[in-house]
Each structure stands twice: as structure tokens, then as C-alpha cells.
Homo-oligomer: A and B are copies of this chain.
Amino acid sequence: MENKLPHFSDIENAYVRICNLINKTPVLKSSTINSFFKNDFYFKCENFQKVGAFKFRGASNAVSLLSQEHLKNGVATHSSGNHAAALALAASSKGAKSYIVMPNNSPQIKKNAVKDYGAEIIFCEPTLKAREETLNEIVNKTGATFIHPYNNFNIICGQGTCAMEFLKEIPDLDYLFVPLGGGGLLSGSLISAKAINPKIKVIGCEPAGANDAYLSLKSGKFVASEKPKTIADGLLTSLGTITYEIIMNNIDDIFTASEGNIILAMRTIWERMKIIVEPSSAVPLACIIENFKNVEHKKIGIIISGGNVDLSKLPF
């Protein structure tokens, strides 16, 4: 089956649809981080997005496109947290129900957020198989529309509005570093960034402990995420069919980072920039620390994907 792939015009249309629903997030700089790592960094801060993560962009776009008839039965998804909160808020703001299948080991702060936005949570084991089975049961029982967290045309278009905003503000970036889990954010970022600045190099950033996309790229064929182990709880999942195709055809490279460097990068951002970022958001800077030792004086964009952290369980 061939996937229908988004073009930049689809992302522009998504932006028109959601621009009054989302926060236009700031791009921050830090002279200390610039001098530490010898490049000129720009951080697009989706930790300041509604629900504390970029996921609200995609969810808003997907929900905005549903008919009244479909909204009546609600929406459903499986997610480790941020997509869940995003879909719950996008649905409740339209008066619709949402059913969220969550792994039982999700951070407490993410469980609370999803509940606060009015969703019904159904817990499952933390495997992709358990998520999908539980989700199917719910959809069959309720008639809710399944909104996949990343392998969905409209979700990818929504996520692409982040890089679009970013590149419209800073068009001459040499590099764009993007966290890579299921690939929704990276897919949308690739389409937007390459359309606005064809010379930009876009790098996907994975934890070494969840390096399935890295292995896929290097081997030239799909490798699934099996027993991933990383503090970056937003980056555990495998690529989907759509995100695999977009990423493999457009990506410049995929880097990985150790757990130690992820924690170091996270702490550096907290201490020096005074902003709260979740571990997944620290993976791009960690990848730069680990893989980019001889690159200097470049303009590097980093997408800070979210800021939802359980403050009782910090790694430092």
C-alpha cells in the first residue's frame, strides 16, 4: 500500500487551521551554551506549547479536520503521554470525548495531565503490541476515531508547523536537530525545513538505547524498536510506514547519544537557560556533544520538543 505523503502546502494549510489554537513559541538563545559548544544555537521552545509539548500542533490539526459526526463518538489513541494530553485537550475544547491507552509506566505528571484535560485513561503493558490491542478494543467498543500519535497524515502536517515557524524566524540555519521517536515531528520538520531552506541539513536525534531509526538508516531497511531502554521516554517507539518513508528519503543523518550525555545536556539546559525540558528534548544537544566535536561557528537550530517532567524523579 502506498502512503499519501504531505507536501509543504499541506503544512501551510494546517498552520492556517491551527494558528489561533496554538502558542507561537519563542526561539531562545544562550551565550553560555554557545561558548561551551562553539556554535550559534537557536532553541525553538515547544516546552512552552499548550500541554507542554509540540504534540498539541498535530492533535489540533487532526481534530479540526473531523466531522461533527465523527466527533460525537470521540477520539482515541495510545501514547506515552504528550500526544495523549494533546489529543485530550484538542478534543475537550470541541466538547468531544477522548479515550487514551497509556503504558502503566508513564510518568505520573503525564498521567495527571491527561486526566486533567478530561480524557478517559485505559492502562496497558508498556509494549507496542499491548498498546495496539487495547486500543483496538476501545475503538470497537466506542466507535471513537483512532488518531495515531505519529503515523498519520494530519498529525505530521500539524507537527511540521513547528519547523515552519522556526525557519520563518531564522531562515539561514545551517543545521536543524530534531528528537526522533516515532518520527512525526522529524517528518514534518523535514518537509518544512527543506521547503524553506533547501540547503539546510536536518539531523534526527535518537537515544543510543532506542536507536531503531539509526539502525534502519544505516542498514537501508526497517528495524523495529525492541526493548528500548532510555530516560528519554518520548522516544521509545518505532517509526511508522509514513514516517519511515519521509525520513529515509529526506534525512541528512541520524545521530545517537548515550544516557550520560542526555542527562548532561538536560542539566546544562536547565542550569544555563533556566527552562524545564524533558529528557527527550535534551537528546539533540546530547547528540551534538557526542558527535559534533569538530564543527564550529555554525547556526544550529534545535527543537525543544517538550517540558513535561516528573519533578520527584529527576536524574540529578
Contact = CB atoms under 8 A, between A and B. Distances in A.
Interface of A: 26, 47-48, 52, 109, 267, 270-271, 274-277, 307, 311-312, 314, 316
B270 A311 contact: yes
A235 B277 CA distance: 28
Contacts of A277: 274
A312 B316 contact: yes
A274 B274 contact: no
B316 A311 contact: yes
A136 B270 CA distance: 36
Nearest to A307: B274
Contacts of A267: 311
Nearest to A274: B307
Nearest to A277: B274
B314 A274 contact: no
Contact of A275 (B274, B311, B312, B314): B274
Q: Top 3 closest A-B pairs, CB basis? A: A274-B307, A274-B276, A47-B274
A304 to B, nearest CB: 9
A20 to B, nearest CB: 14
A281 to B, nearest CB: 10
B311 A271 contact: yes
Contacts of A271: 109, 311
A267 B26 CA distance: 22
A109 B274 CA distance: 13
Contacts of A48: 274
A25 B148 CA distance: 39
Nearest to A26: B26
Contacts of A270: 276, 311
Given A270-B311, A271-B311, 14 more contacts: A26-B26, A47-B274, A52-B274, A109-B271, A267-B311, A274-B275, A274-B276, A274-B277, A274-B307, A275-B275, A275-B276, A311-B316, A312-B316, A314-B314
Contacts of A312: 316
Nearest to A32: B116
Which of A109, A277, A311 has the most chain B CB atoms inside 10 A of its CB?
A311
A233 B267 CA distance: 22
Contacts of A52: 274
Contacts of A47: 274
A27 to B, nearest CB: 12
